Amino acid sequence: MARKLIATAYGEPSDVLEAAEVDVPRARRGAVVVQVRAAGLNPYDVKVVRGQMGADPDRLPLSVGGEAAGVVHAAGPDSGFRVGDDVVVYPASGALAEYVVADAANVHRKPAELGFAEASSLLLAGVTAVDTLATLQIDEDDVLLVHGGAGAVGSLVVTEAVAAGATVIATASPRNHDFLRGLGAVPVTYGEGLSEAIAAALDGARLTAVIDTVGTDEAIDVSLELVAPHRIVSVAAWGRGDDGIVLLSGGSERSRHYRRAAVEPLLTDAASGRIAVTIARRFGFDDAADAFDELLGGHPRGKIVFEPR
């Protein structure tokens, strides 16, 4: 038997999360069973548990977790993997568990230089960041505003946009401004006075694009004052589609292509240290609800990582 984290109902994490005893999954043809060393927690997981992505009772109990890293425990025929291989699973289903089963197409070899925690928390945010930049075709001629530049998606957007030669302005709480400067962005504080702060950071330059990872009306309204809607890409402002901005869920053919193509380069770049994954906190079955609540708070300062123990 093995343990996995489940939500018995939709609701607050402290009310609905529990560790369930389940059978160790079997490896069917073309799939592998991975013993999870680490699994990245993402805002999406918290939204799913709280019923914000739909509350179909037929899906209960919910398995949680969209990415993991670990060691192949059992390899099905034609999977291309062997027992003992170190791997990253993305996209995963039910990754907050001791074992996760995945189709081989979603299993990637983990570079030896990359730790399990970092590997487990890289790809979901990373492919999203690449998708936003590729959709806008950001290059050295761009002056880009990033909302939420210190978050998991935002910090990778900033890193890659700076690497592409763009001028980058990014919003964050003041405590994250040095972090943003370190990535090569000009930091601005969100909240009251955001418009004026962005104008000061632009210093006469003309904004050419916006990537929003926050989804607030403040972020979208200030962006619409500065650029045409088709130059605003958001991964979070689901209520603002009528404004003509570009909403990316990863579901379109173009997004799927960008995201698939981004996986191997992201693993290579994280292994070489060109891009960084900061771990803010590690948690297990016992403090899972607390970790979910911390992410729900909206200011995690790095990735929150599940480690079964």
Ligand X SMILES: NC(=O)c1ccc[n+]([C@@H]2O[C@H](COP(=O)([O-])OP(=O)(O)OC[C@H]3O[C@@H](n4cnc5c(N)ncnc54)[C@H](OP(=O)(O)O)[C@@H]3O)[C@@H](O)[C@H]2O)c1
Q: Give, rounded to a whole angstrom, the gap between the first and last alpha carbons of the chain.
A: 14
Return the number of the residue (173 or 195) whose C-beta is nearest ligand X. Answer: 173
Q: Provide the minimum distance between the beta carbon of 99 and ligand X in the complex, in angstroms, as a whole number.
A: 25
Return the number of the residue (111 or 250) whose C-beta is nearest ligand X. Answer: 250
Tokens 């632009």, located at residue: 202
Written as one letter, the residue type at 46 is: V
Work out the number of other CB atoms within 10 angstroms of the CB of residue 195: 14
Tokens 């809607």, located at residue: 229
Instruction: Indicate the residue whose CB is closest to ligand X.
Output: 151
Q: Provide the minimum distance between the beta carbon of 150 and ligand X in the complex, in angstroms, as a whole number.
A: 4
What are the Cα distances from residue 169, in Å, to 139, 189, 201?
A: 14, 11, 7
Candidates 3-11, 81-89, 159-167, 207-215: pick the segment binding ligand X (CB under 6 A): 207-215
Count of residues interacting with ligand X (CB under 6 A): 31
Among 81, 190, 283, 306, binds ligand X (CB under 6 A): 190
Q: Provide the minimum distance between the beta carbon of 219 and ligand X in the complex, in angstroms, as a whole number.
A: 6
Q: Provide the minimum distance between the beta carbon of 77 and ligand X in the complex, in angstroms, as a whole number.
A: 33
Which residues inside 211-240 make contact with ligand X, applying CB under 6 A?
A: 213-216, 235-236
Among 3, 12, 22, 44, binds ligand X (CB under 6 A): 44
**Which residues neighbour 117 within 8 Å (Cβ) at sequence distance 6 or greater?**
37, 38, 69, 277, 279, 282, 303, 305, 307
Which residues inside 102-161 make contact with ligand X, applying CB under 6 A?
A: 124-125, 128, 147-148, 150-154
What are the Cα distances from residue 65, in Å, to 115, 158, 225, 243, 277?
A: 19, 25, 37, 32, 18
How far apart CA 73 and CA 35 sit, in angstroms, is: 6
Candidates 24-32, 113-121, 136-144, 296-304: pick the segment binding ligand X (CB under 6 A): 296-304
Written as one letter, the residue type at 205 is: A
SS3 245: coil
Among 93, 135, 173, 278, binds ligand X (CB under 6 A): 173
The answer to whether 43 contacts ligand X (rule: CB under 6 A) is yes
Among 171, 187, 288, 289, binds ligand X (CB under 6 A): 171
Which of 34, 222, 30 lies closest to 145 in space, CA to CA? 222
Q: Provide the minimum distance between the beta carbon of 257 and ligand X in the complex, in angstroms, as a whole number.
A: 14
How far apart CA 303 and CA 276 sit, in angstroms, is: 11
Return the number of the residue (153 or 267) whose C-beta is nearest ligand X. Answer: 153
- What does the binding site for ligand X look like in residue numbers (CB under 6 A)? 42-44, 124-125, 128, 147-148, 150-154, 171-173, 176, 190, 213-216, 235-236, 248-250, 295, 298-300
